[in-house]
Structure 1
Amino acid sequence: MYPGDAEFGFELLVCRWAEEAWPPAGGRGDEDAVLVARQLGTKRRRWDTVVVECDPAGLAARACFGDRELDSDLLHVVLHAPEEWAWYRDALPHPGYPWRYVRAAVHRAAGRGVVEKRRRGNRIEIRRVAPYPDWVRRIVAIENKPDLDASAARALSDQLSRDVEDALADEVWVATHATGNRVEPALLEDVPVEVGILAFSFDADASGDDWADASVEWHPSDVTPPDAESDEERRTTRLELAERAYGSGWRSYHDTMRPDCRHFELRRFGRALVPHCAAKGRPQTAAECAGSCPEFEPEPPVWRTRGWPIEGGPGKGIQRLLGDRRARVRAREAGEDGEE
């Protein structure tokens, strides 16, 4: 099955599977790379899982700009920073809002080391550190519904139809739990025909790649609009989305949960590491794991003074571990040394 009865546990396993095995048909080659993120989207729509299909060489070049995401203001500076020194107002296109905000972004970009900055008289000049690469090929959105019954399908139908119409993602899927029936119930529900359906079964005790099985019950349509190349707003929004995926990755759950609680643990499920609450004796959801939880207990200070392997407390150790795993996946997908 999957850890816990909530969609959260199912979502984490889908993300881990996608990190290892995307695309569903298999056959990821040396010229393919993926980044996986969760709970990502726009002001209008948030997806459970986002898979960014990348160019490996471009992904490796993206590393020149650091591990953190470049937000929209920083992207405006980095994308248009000139090869030779120039006044930032001459180098950058007008943003559509006051230049003082651009100037603040220039200072922030220089502080991050993603552009170079110098002052000539009363003018601030900038120069790029490297060309920003074209590293994003496609964006795939996945909605996770382990129990896709009729009522859940009805609630999802309008959202999925808008996803297809908006075409911000190139492909849209629904991931659900496999029932083993001759015809999976998800095929009989009201899901837009353009949306693919993946049926998952997981085995926590299986070794190697056998821990997760994904069956394609319905193939999706490519919903990329014909004018995608000339749609600057779509391109910008997708790049901002990809940058957020690059900066967080699906292991970002430790940013919204409380690994500094003495009851917070990581447990292995197949090839995934999922959070577990020792006080509740079960996997917890992200909403449960907060400072308002009645079982929350901060780590005792003595736990943070024992040196290696604690180095600041178990919570900090968990954050480092998940951060290191994220960095290894990036390096692997970019064709560098490093395995998960």
Structure 2
Amino acid sequence: MYPGDAEFGFELLVCRWAETSWPPGSTRESAVVVSRQLGTKRRRWDTVVLECDPDGLAARRQFGERELDSDLLHVVRHAPAEWEWYRNALPHPGYPWRYVRAAVHRAADRGVVEKRRQGNRIEIRRIAPYPDWLRRIVAIENKPDLDASAARALAGQLEHDVEAALADEVWVATEATGSRIEPALLEDLPVDVGIVTLSFDADAGAVVPIENDSVGTVEWYPSEVTPPDASGDEERRRRRLELAERAYGRGWRSYHETMRPDCRHFELRRFGRALVPHCAANGRSQTAAECAGSCPEFEPEPPAWRSRGWPIEGGPGKGIKRLLRRRRERVRERETVRD
């Protein structure tokens, strides 16, 4: 079981499972960062797992907790060790230099590079080398009820993922049925895509083991779809770093940014090892689409709630945001000190 009757609740629990138990069926050798609803203009993935070098992930923290967008990455990755005019230091971006100049100012304001003015020129210097922190990207599509029609609709998207090879592995996560042969194995999915079945129980305080004391059962192992020439493909590396930066900055607990935690009915409920949103007005876990300003049950927090300093400064909505942010930061810190 999972909270609510939509894929959103299942998706949040898959993210928490991946955060604690990735990779399925084997020992973790990399640090893990999990995010959700990320991708490219053509394709958006439900869950994204970054397998990272622990030392590199720790070094990435020098550049702050916020993501570095494509323009900032261009500046930070190529910033020189010693002072140099930014036009000499950075490779030509393929667009006007005035946009690079604006990115240099933003980077300096963020403290991710240093800048100074020498005459009419702006010189830059790096604060530290940008680390090689990303090892692999794993894309997971979440379909709790993977019936034949859902599989047909999903097959084309998964084939695109395999052919594009932006991710190193592609998986489908579905709810376990307990059958001797899981129905997902009988559906027409690309052979390169892995299948993992999960079962959740809020009363157990964790993901319920399905068999062999495993938190998730791998029904079909994926193929590695990384191209043979990936190490020399700078364009692929750039796109993957941009995706990884978005995942690093947002995580999977950022659902509060598209929902309304400032509503008096918005709550967080514990479901196993995850905290998931709950609507007190409807008495159930809501979806991100339902929890919006257009919801007929929406009621702003009373002003008196927001003016009290203790125990939740700014009201419950602010407290929820701080709690989710602290949990995300705690996971980052744990991953960088993992043995």
Band of TM-score, shorter chain: over 0.9
Say which of 28, 37, 47 aligns to 1:49.
47
Report the alpha carbon displacement of residue 306 of structure 1 after superposing the two structures with TM. Answer: 1.7
The letter for the 1-side match of 2:20 is: E
Report the alpha carbon displacement of residue 287 of structure 1 after superposing the two structures with TM. Answer: 0.4
Report the alpha carbon displacement of residue 305 of structure 1 after superposing the two structures with TM. Answer: 1.6
**Partners of 2:93 and 2:41 in 1: how far apart?**
20
State yes or no: 1:230 paired with 2:232. yes
State yes or no: 1:307 paired with 2:305. no
Report the alpha carbon displacement of residue 188 of structure 1 after superposing the two structures with TM. Answer: 0.4
State yes or no: 1:265 paired with 2:267. yes
**Partners of 1:162 and 1:55 in 2: how far apart?**
28
1:120 alignment counterpart: 118
Contact persistence 1:48–1:144 (CA under 8 A): yes
The 5-angstrom pairing of residues 133-172 of structure 1 reads 133-172=131-170
Contact persistence 2:25–2:216 (CA under 8 A): no
Q: Aligned-pair RMSD on alpha carbons? A: 1.2
Please give the secondary structure, in 1, of the residue aligned with 2:231: helix
**Partners of 1:293 and 1:304 in 2: how far apart?**
21
The letter for the 1-side match of 2:93 is: P
**Partners of 2:188 and 2:310 in 1: how far apart?**
54
Identity %: 81
**Partners of 2:310 and 2:322 in 1: how far apart?**
13
The letter for the 2-side match of 1:109 is: A
Point out where structure 2 has 5 or more consecutive residues left out of the alignment: none
The letter for the 1-side match of 2:199 is: S
Say which of 85, 104, 116 aligns to 1:87.
85
Please give the secondary structure, in 2, of the residue aligned with 1:297: coil
Please give the secondary structure, in 1, of the residue aligned with 2:196: strand
1:66 alignment counterpart: 64
Report the alpha carbon displacement of residue 26 of structure 1 after superposing the two structures with TM. Answer: 3.1
1:17 alignment counterpart: 17
TM-score normalised by length of structure 1: 0.97
**Partners of 2:158 and 2:327 in 1: how far apart?**
32
**Partners of 1:305 and 1:96 in 2: how far apart?**
50
The letter for the 1-side match of 2:295 is: C
1:204 alignment counterpart: 202
Report the alpha carbon displacement of residue 214 of structure 1 after superposing the two structures with TM. Answer: 1.2
Contact persistence 1:203–1:211 (CA under 8 A): no
Report the alpha carbon displacement of residue 336 of structure 1 after superposing the two structures with TM. Answer: 7.3
The letter for the 2-side match of 1:54 is: C
Point out where structure 1 has 5 or more consecutive residues left out of the alignment: none
Please give the secondary structure, in 1, of the residue aligned with 2:253: helix
TM-score normalised by length of structure 2: 0.97
Report the alpha carbon displacement of residue 210 of structure 1 after superposing the two structures with TM. Answer: 4.1
1:186 alignment counterpart: 184
Q: 1:208 to 1:288 in 2, by over 3 A?
A: closer
Aligned residues: 335
Report the alpha carbon displacement of residue 211 of structure 1 after superposing the two structures with TM. Answer: 7.5
Say which of 216, 219, 229 aligns to 1:214.
216
The letter for the 1-side match of 2:316 is: P
Contact persistence 1:211–1:271 (CA under 8 A): no
**Partners of 1:335 and 1:27 in 2: how far apart?**
16
| 1:294-338 per-position Cα deviation (integer Å, ceiling 9, x unaligned) | 00000000001221211000000000000000000000001179x
Report the alpha carbon displacement of residue 207 of structure 1 after superposing the two structures with TM. Answer: 3.3
Q: Which runs of 4+ in 1 moved over 3 A?
A: 207-213
Contact persistence 2:199–2:207 (CA under 8 A): no
| 1:269-292 per-position Cα deviation (integer Å, ceiling 9, x unaligned) | 000000000000000000000001
Please give the secondary structure, in 1, of the residue aligned with 2:202: coil
**Partners of 1:336 and 1:6 in 2: how far apart?**
34
| 1:145-194 per-position Cα deviation (integer Å, ceiling 9, x unaligned) | 00000000000001100100110000000000101111100000010000
**Partners of 1:94 and 1:219 in 2: how far apart?**
42
Please give the secondary structure, in 2, of the residue aligned with 1:205: helix
